[in-house]
Chains A and B, each alone.
Chain A
Amino acid sequence: MNEQDEFDGDRFDGDESVDHAPAPDQAPALIMEKARKVYPMADSEVVALDDADIVVEADEMVALVGPSGSGKTTLCSIAGGILSPTSGRVVVGGVDISTFGPKQLTRVRRELVGFVFQSVNLVPFLTARENLLVVDELGRRTGAPARRRADQLLEELGLADRAKNLPGQLSGGQRQRVAIGRALMNDPKLVLFDEPTSALDTKLGMAVMELIRDEMKSRGIAAIVVTHDERITQFCDRSVHMEDGKVL
Chain B
Amino acid sequence: MKLALRELRRQPGRFAAAGMILTLIALLLMFLGGLLDGLIRSSTGAVRALDADVLVFSSSAENAFLRSRVEPALRATVDAVDGVEQTAGIGVLQLGARMPDSGPRELLDIALFGTELPPRSDGALPAEGEVLADESLRQRGVTEGMVLELGPGRSPVTVVGFTTDTSYLGQAALWTGPQTWREVLGENRPDQLLGPDVFQALLVRLTPGSDAAAVAERIDEATGAATASLTVVAAADTLPGVQEQQATFNQIIGVTVTIAIVVVALFFALLTIERAGLYGVLKAIGAESRSLFGGLVLQAVVLTTLSCSIAAVAAVGLDLAIPPGSVPLRISALRLITSLVYLLVAAVVGCAFSLRRVLRVDPASAIGSSS
Q: Cβ of B286 and Cβ of A83 under 8 Å apart?
A: no
Q: How far is the CA of A121 from the CA of B6 in the complex (A)?
A: 17
User: Please, which residue of chain A has its CB at the minimum distance from the CB of B371?
Assistant: A73
* A73/B367 contact (C-beta < 8 A), A125-B7, A125-B10, A134-B3 known: yes
A55 within 8 A of B: no
- The complex places the Cα of A126 from the Cα of B5 at a distance, in Å, of 11
A213 CB-CB contact with B under 8 Å: no
Q: Which of B6, B10, B287, B367 contacts A117 (CB 8 A)?
A: B367
Provide the residues of chain B in CB contact with A76, threshold 8 Å: 367-368
Known contacts being A77-B368, A130-B6, A138-B291, is A82 close to B282, with CB within 8 Å? no
**A26 on the interface (CB 8 Å rule)?**
no
Is A53 at the interface (CB under 8 A from chain B)?
no
Question: A109 an interface residue at 8 Å Cβ cutoff?
Answer: yes
Residue A233 at the B interface, CB < 8 A? no
Cβ-defined contact, B278 with A82, below 8 A? no
Contact indicator per residue, chain B 339-371, by CB within 8 Å of chain A (1) or not (0): 000000000000000000000000110111011
Establish whether residues A73 and B286, one from each chain, have CB atoms under 8 Å apart when the complex forms: no
| Chain A residue nearest to B363 in the complex (CB) | A82
> Which residues from B are CB-within-8-Å of A106?
283, 286-288, 363
Interface string of B267-294 (1 = CB under 8 A from A): 0000000000110111111111001000
Contacting residues, chain A, for B368 (C-beta < 8 A) = 72-74, 76-77, 117-118, 194
In the bound complex, what is the Cα–Cα distance between A114 and B283 (angstroms)?
12
Measured CB to CB, the nearest residue on chain B to A109 is B286
State in angstroms the CA–CA spacing of A80 and B284 once bound together.
9
Min Cβ gap A107→B in Å is: 7
Q: Does B105 contact A (CB under 8 A)?
A: no
Q: Which residues of A contact B288 (CB under 8 A)?
A: 103, 106, 138
Q: Are B284 and A126 in contact (CB under 8 A)?
A: no
Chain A residues with CB under 8 Å of B284's CB are 80, 82, 109, 115, 117
Residues of chain A with a CB closer than 8 A to B7's CB: 125
Q: What's the nearest-Cβ distance from chain B to residue A110, in Å?
A: 3
Q: How far is the CA of A72 from the CA of B367 in the complex (A)?
A: 11
Given A121-B277, A125-B10, A130-B6: A77 touches B367 (CB 8 Å cut-off): yes
Instruction: Confirm or deny: B11 has a beta carbon within 8 angstroms of a beta carbon on chain A.
Output: yes
- CB contact list, A185-226 vs B, under 8 A: 186, 194-195
Interface residues of A in 32-66 (CB under 8 A from B): none
Q: Are A126 and B3 in contact (CB under 8 A)?
A: yes
For residue B286, which residues in chain A have a CB less than 8 angstroms away from its CB?
A: 106-107, 109-111, 135, 138-139, 186
Q: Which of A64-98 contact B (CB under 8 A)?
A: 68-69, 72-74, 76-77, 80, 82-83
Structural contact, A77 and B364, CB atoms closer than 8 A: yes
* A138 & B282 in contact (Cβ 8 Å cutoff): yes
B7 to A, closest residue via Cβ: A125
**What's the A-B contact tally at a CB cutoff of 8 Å?**
92
A194 to B287, CA, bound (A): 20
Interface size class of B (residues with CB under 8 A): 20 to 34
| Shortest Cβ distance from A126 into B: residue | B6
Contact between B363 and A109 (Cβ–Cβ < 8 Å)? Answer: yes
- Contact partner of A125 (CB less than 8 A), chosen from B11, B281, B283, B291, is B11
Inter-chain contacts of A82 with B (CB < 8 A): 284, 363-364, 366-367
From DSSP, what is the main secondary structure of chain B's interface residues?
helix
Could you tell me the distance between the alpha carbons of A195 and B370 in the complex, rounded to whole angstroms? 11
Query: Are A115 and B285 in contact (CB-based, < 8 A)?
Result: yes
| Cα distance A182–B283 in the bound complex, in angstroms | 14
Complex formed: what's the CA distance from A197 to B134 in Å? 82
Least CB distance from A196 to B in Å reads 12
Residue on A nearest B287 in the bound complex, by CB: A138
Q: Is A248 an interface position by the 8 A CB rule?
A: no
Please name all residues of chain A whose beta carbon is closer than 8 Å to the beta carbon of B367 when the two chains form the complex: 73, 76-77, 80, 82, 115, 117-118, 194
Measured between beta carbons, the chain A residues less than 8 angstroms from B2 are 137
Nearest CB of A to B303, in Å: 16
Measured CB to CB, the nearest residue on chain A to B9 is A125
**In the complex, chain B residues whose CB is within 8 Å of the CB of A186:** 286
B272 to chain A, nearest CB (A): 16
Check: A119 CB closer than 8 A to any chain B CB.
Answer: yes
Query: Could you tell me if A123 and B285 are in contact, using CB atoms closer than 8 angstroms?
Result: no
Residue of A nearest to B11 (CB): A125
B282 contacts which chain A residues (CB < 8 A)?
123, 134, 138
Query: In the bound complex, how far is the Cα of B34 from the Cα of A28, in angstroms?
Result: 69
CA distance A118 to B370 in the complex (A): 8
Beta-carbon nearest neighbor of A135 in chain B: B285
Task: Give the CA-CA distance A34 to B286 in the complex, in Å.
Answer: 26
A117 touches B366 (CB 8 A): yes
0 or 1 for each of A159-200: is its CB under 8 Å from B? (1 = yes): 000000000000000000000001100100000001100000
Alpha-carbon separation in the docked complex, A65 to B283 (Å): 26
Q: Which of chain B's residues 29-65 have a Cβ closer than 8 Å to chain A?
A: none
What is the CA–CA distance of A124 and B291 in the complex, to the nearest angstrom? 19
A68–B2 CA distance with the chains assembled, in angstroms: 39
A83 to B362, CA, bound (A): 9
- Measured CB to CB, the nearest residue on chain A to B280 is A121
A124 to B371, CA, bound (A): 23
Chain A residues with CB below 8 A from B6, complex form: 125-126, 130
CB distance from A157 to the nearest CB of B (A): 17
| Chain A to chain B: the 3 pairs with minimum beta-carbon distance, closest first | A110-B286, A73-B368, A121-B281
Q: Kindly list 14 other residue pairs between chains A and B, CB separation below 8 angstroms, not including A110-B286, A117-B281, A117-B367.
A: A72-B371, A73-B368, A82-B284, A82-B366, A83-B364, A103-B288, A106-B363, A114-B285, A121-B366, A123-B278, A125-B6, A134-B285, A137-B1, A138-B287
